[in-house]
Structure 1
Amino acid sequence: MIVRGSVLTAAAVALLAVTSAGPANATTHLPGNIDIRCFADTLHQSADWYLPTGTPTGLVWLQHGFARTSTQVGALAESFADAGYLVFAPSLPFMQLQGCTLQNLGDNSAFLHNVAELFGTATDPNGALAASLTAAARNAGVPIPAFPDDLVFIGHSAGAEAVTFVADRVRTNHPRTWNGLRGVILLDPVQSFIGDNIARALSGLDDTALPILTISAVPALCNSFTLGTVAVQTRLHRPFVGVRLPGGAHTDAEGDSSDVLGELLCGIPEPANSTMLRTLALGWTNDFVKGTTTPGYYPAGPGDTLSAAPAAQVLPGAG
């Protein structure tokens, strides 16, 4: 078995049993499971669904980071559900003997290909994604919502690399789903120590019209000193690719859902930064789905800041 060579791995193994103090379950929160192929086997992973009131505006795939679970993105998921989105937040392995992991410990591309298939078959009532939502809704005794046509992928940390890779795989293998994918948001993206998944995926997506924006923290061990953000800025030839939060911690995306493990190793979320992150992520998602451009969420020109987040540092792409 290959083990990621970082302090986070060792500490995660030692502290993973620490109980997290996530947000209180909202009425829209449906715990469930998702089946994902792993070579000849099938992984049965826990997955949380968050249902909005009324018809969903779109589907948001919200992916947690390395050595984390869907619990740590619960607060952010609830914010998106409150804004009208159906949210899918699966818990993906960070260690698995066959290499079916969130981050790349050798070659997880086949596993991420299978994750892409979840969305490629989202409209199939017999597909794994539909089956997961149906079972979760029935267990909770609530109506089963229809899958929206519009999708947005959002990933934190190693989850950001995963959603980027899956988005590119959707582009090449699932044209119908690709037509409904409206954007990708990367929350302090972390590049795996092994391989070039995020770089290859960003290069594949670069020439498309798909919006890809990042909200990054300052360089630190937990974000591999922003190598993921560097990949975004060097691989995307666009004038604006996101922002860096002032003094931001890697756990800002987790906010109130973070726990002892995250805060001990990666810093305590700053409430102002978590609010700024949530504001931008929701604002960008709304624009992606509606096809609009809300001025406050983007710089008006070179050197400008964002009026919705004036303290944030604007990040340019490769040009």
Structure 2
Amino acid sequence: MSLRGSTLTILAAVCTAAATGVGTAEPPGLSGSVEIACAASTLHQSAAWYLPTGQPRGLVWVQHGFARDNDNVAALAETLADAGYLAFAPSLPFLNLSGCTLQNLGDNTPFLNQVADLFATADDPAGPLARSLETAAAGSGRPIPSMPGQLVFIGHSAGAEAVEYVAHRLHTTAPATWSKLRGLVLLDPVKSFLGNNTETALTDLDATGLPMLTVSAPPSLCNNFGGGTAAMEALLHRPFIGVRIPAGEHTDAEGASSDGIGELLCGVPQAANVAVLQRLTSGWTDDFIDGTHTAAYYPGDPADPGGIPAAPGAQILGGS
């Protein structure tokens, strides 16, 4: 079977599983939905909110990967909520006749522009993001937290390309919101088979100095042979852009929230790798929000050689 045939076979299996509802348990977040404009209609997408104890330190968007949903990033979102963040995890479509999809199957940028508008209007109490939070929290009986002023975007797999592009969109069209974005964490990023969203976004964002860091796995079919990480290495001009875990699995970002289909097709998350990924993701988010640089979270950074190793044999990644 050809490489392209193998890829399409795996993607078809994932799509079939997602469509038939195979998979995850009910996530611990507050279940709700969010409205996102799509062509001439409005999508009502599942969205989970994870509330911290007390006032949130920041708002973190946690985006799942291709043919997955927000259940699959529940463990990571819960970890971030435990660290004091308000985590927002929407489910975005992987198939849509109007092109309103997480990954680029032709041109999904009009849809991603609408996703960007969720954050550009986050301060509006009548905006879709605020309404989504209010409805989810009200249904739980918990107090509705104030929408934080600082933002961090975290994306896994194809979700990484989506958060890259949305950050680019905010930079070019929403300066007030852009000024609140503190950084991106890209977990085993995957480029879409079509289009140049990754290149467009990273080229623009590189010049801004916005922190962008990755925890990546070795190249495999599930991460499109490391193309998303390779694009970061080629397009970001920074001495340290993250780490590659040598025994990492594409599903490590999902951790305990992965499921049988994800594990069958893309590997079983390894506890040690998951612990490293969650520690670095939370630590980098803390530094983004606080404006600090904690040596332990930058293993092998040439600018900070005191950083401790992320994992035995971890490969340090740097830009061009």
Indicate the larger mover: 63-72 or 302-311.
302-311
Conserved? CA contact 2:72–2:257, under 8 Å: yes
- What is the percentage of aligned positions where both structures have the same residue? 57
Conserved? CA contact 2:295–2:306, under 8 Å: no
For the residues of structure 1 that align with 2:223 and 2:148, how far apart are their CA atoms? 32
Q: Report the equivalent of 2:12.
A: 10
For the residues of structure 2 that align with 1:103 and 1:305, how far apart are their CA atoms? 38
> SS at the partner of 1:222?
coil
Q: Report the equivalent of 1:266.
A: 266
Residues 131-150 of structure 1: per-residue CA shift (max 9 Å, x gap): 10011111111111111111
Shift of 1:310: 4.2
Indicate the larger mover: 133-142 or 105-114.
133-142
For the residues of structure 1 that align with 2:250 and 2:292, how far apart are their CA atoms? 29
Q: Report the equivalent of 1:34.
A: 34
Indicate the larger mover: 11-20 or 106-115.
11-20
Shift of 1:300: 4.4
Q: Report the equivalent of 2:140.
A: 140
The residue type paired with residue 12 of structure 1 is V
Shift of 1:18: 4.8
> 4+ residue runs of structure 1 moved beyond 3 angstroms?
21-24, 302-306
Q: Report the equivalent of 2:128.
A: 128
Q: Report the equivalent of 1:301.
A: 302
The residue type paired with residue 161 of structure 2 is E
**TM-score of the superposed pair, with normalisation by structure 2:** 0.94
Conserved? CA contact 1:23–1:75, under 8 Å: no
Conserved? CA contact 1:305–1:313, under 8 Å: no
1:250-265 pair list within 5 angstroms: 250-265=250-265
Q: Report the equivalent of 2:244.
A: 244
For the residues of structure 2 that align with 1:8 and 1:51, how far apart are their CA atoms? 35
Quote the RMSD (CA, aligned, Å): 1.6
The residue type paired with residue 302 of structure 2 is G
1:1-319 pair list within 5 angstroms: 6-16=8-18, 17-22=20-25, 25=28, 29-298=29-298, 299-301=300-302, 306-307=307-308, 309-311=310-312, 312-318=314-320
For the residues of structure 1 that align with 2:14 and 2:247, how far apart are their CA atoms? 24
Shift of 1:20: 2.2
Conserved? CA contact 1:47–1:88, under 8 Å: yes
Could you tell me which runs of 5 or more consecutive residues in structure 1 were left unpaired when the two chains were aligned.
Answer: none
> SS at the partner of 2:107?
coil
Residues 177-215 of structure 1: per-residue CA shift (max 9 Å, x gap): 111100000000000000010111000001112100011
> SS at the partner of 1:73?
helix
> SS at the partner of 1:221?
coil
Conserved? CA contact 2:185–2:213, under 8 Å: yes
Question: Matched residue pairs, number?
Answer: 312
The residue type paired with residue 22 of structure 2 is T
- Residues 242 and 23 of structure 1: is their aligned pair in 2 closer, same or farther, counting only changes over 3 Å? farther
> SS at the partner of 2:213?
strand
Could you tell me which runs of 5 or more consecutive residues in structure 2 were left unpaired when the two chains were aligned.
Answer: 1-6
For the residues of structure 1 that align with 2:245 and 2:173, how far apart are their CA atoms? 35
Shift of 1:306: 4.2
The residue type paired with residue 282 of structure 1 is S
